Amino acid sequence: MNEFAKELDVAKKIARQAGAVMLKYFSDDVVVERKSDDSPVTQADIEINRLVIEELSKQFNDGIVGEEESTAEYGMGRRWICDPIDGTRAFTWGLPTAMFSLGLAVDGIPEVGVAYDPFLDLLYEATQDSDSLCNGKPIHVSSVGIAGAPIAVSGSPEKLLKNASQAALLARLVEKRARIVGFSGSVYRACLVARGRLAGYVEKNINTHDLVAVEVILKKAGGMITDFEGKQLDYSKAFKGAVISNSIVHADLLECVAGLDW
């Protein structure tokens, strides 16, 4: 029996609604504003975040932590954690690698995860009591080693080259003969690992709200996700950085980030 069947069903319905909002604004000229940290935000981000709060509040008496608006802070107990549009920069550039994600963490541990790609109509889902699915079909990570495997990194080329730690990461990946892949969209990249398209993904700036849904989907697909020291992530608080993999290349990726001054 799936303990979180209702939560999963509600999250999937919200994801579909959020995807419709994304598509509506994606076809128009997107108006971009800047937040205090200079990251972009659009009307679609704000509208979806409010939709999530409204719909979840009808069904549950839980705290909701959104990237743009929240009803609670991070903490113990039940927390719905949402990224209304992960990959807002890609969204504003007209690149279809932005995704919606919504996860439920209980006492800092992810229990339910839903991520939706409205451009390809791909709905990822998983709970701790169920398999990881994409459009209702089971998915699984790849079984390849690091040599020749596609490994995603993030950051613009100039930052990757000018930042010593980022440059060192690239050099270490090259030494292990990995194939380096770069494009915008953290949830998109992580879901590709879960589907077996990428073998791994290293990200120093990924946030808590990007990963709650992803962790459940990835782990139930056979993958691994940790901090840079190989420790379990704690979703009862805000954090940055993660190593995501098909499990096989995880030790190699941890070696690549070891000792870097992030």
Spatial separation of the C-alpha atoms in residues 122 and 16, rounded to whole Å: 10
Alpha-carbon distance values, 171 to 9, 39, 162, 174, 246 (Å): 44, 28, 13, 5, 21
Is residue 72 located within the same domain as residue 175? Answer: no
- 31 against 38, higher pLDDT: 31
Q: Supply 74's token pair.
A: 């991070």
Phi and psi dihedrals of 30, rounded to 5? Answer: -85, 125
Spatial separation of the C-alpha atoms in residues 248 and 238, rounded to whole Å: 28
Give CA torsion, residues 88, 196, 6, 60, to 10 deg: -30
Is residue 132 located within the same domain as residue 220? Answer: no
What is the pLDDT of the chain when averaged over all its residues? 92
Instruction: Give residue 113's pLDDT.
Output: 98
Q: Please state, for a pLDDT cut of 90, what percent of the chain lies above it.
A: 79
Examine residue 69 and state whether it is found in any structural domain, yes or no: yes
Examine residue 145 and state whether it is found in any structural domain, yes or no: no
Per-residue pLDDT at 177 exceeds 60: yes
Which of 24-28, 108-112, 177-181 is the least confident region?
Answer: 24-28
Per-residue pLDDT at 119 exceeds 90: yes
Place 160 in a pLDDT band, splitting at 50, 70 and 90.
Answer: low
CATH of the domain at 78: 3.30.540.10
Q: Which pLDDT tens digit goes with each residue over 54-69?
A: 999 999 999 999 988 8
Residue numbers of the domain that contains 241: 150-257
Mean pLDDT across 149-161: 79
Examine residue 262 and state whether it is found in any structural domain, yes or no: no
Place 76 in a pLDDT band, splitting at 50, 70 and 90.
Answer: very high
Examine residue 172 and state whether it is found in any structural domain, yes or no: yes
Is residue 134 located within the same domain as residue 162? Answer: no
- What value, to the nearest 5°, has the Cα angle with vertex 248 and ends 216 and 3? 20
Number of domains the chain contains: 2
Is residue 131 located within the same domain as residue 162? Answer: no
Is residue 128 located within the same domain as residue 185? Answer: no
Is residue 45 located within the same domain as residue 124? Answer: yes
Is residue 94 located within the same domain as residue 179? Answer: no
Spatial separation of the C-alpha atoms in residues 93 and 85, rounded to whole Å: 13
Per-residue pLDDT at 38 exceeds 60: no
Examine residue 90 and state whether it is found in any structural domain, yes or no: yes
Alpha-carbon distance values, 60 to 6, 49, 53, 193, 236 (Å): 10, 16, 10, 31, 19
CATH of the domain at 197: 3.40.190.80
Per-residue pLDDT at 193 exceeds 60: yes
Tell me which residue of 54, 49, 46, 14 sits closest to 30, measured CA to CA.
46
Examine residue 144 and state whether it is found in any structural domain, yes or no: no
Instruction: Give residue 67's pLDDT.
Output: 83
Phi-psi region of 187 (alpha: psi -120 to 50; beta: other; left: phi over 0): alpha
